[in-house]
Amino acid sequence: MKTVIVSIVLILILGGAALYIYRAKKRGVKCIGCPNSAKCSGNCAGCSCGSEES
């Protein structure tokens, strides 16, 4: 019974993550993990996104 509960929870977590990614891509977000994702050019190397960080 514990295995079934753990499996269901794992499926829900993975499904939620997939749904989040799907919706973000549908909105046109280039870099999902980037804090500036709405303005990001999409060619992030470490997600600098043009912001000047030292």
**pLDDT confidence of residue 29:** 78
**pLDDT confidence of residue 27:** 84
Is residue 10 within 8 Å of 3, Cβ to Cβ?
Answer: no
**pLDDT confidence of residue 16:** 96
**pLDDT confidence of residue 46:** 57
pTM, two decimals, is 0.61
Write the pLDDT tens digit of every residue in 3-52: 999 999 999 999 999 999 999 888 877 777 777 656 666 666 655 555 54
Q: What is the rounded distance in angstroms from the CA atom of residue 24 to the CA atom of residue 21?
A: 5
Count helices and strands (H / E) in the chain: 1, 0
**pLDDT confidence of residue 1:** 92
CA-based angle 15:16:22, to the nearest 5? 90
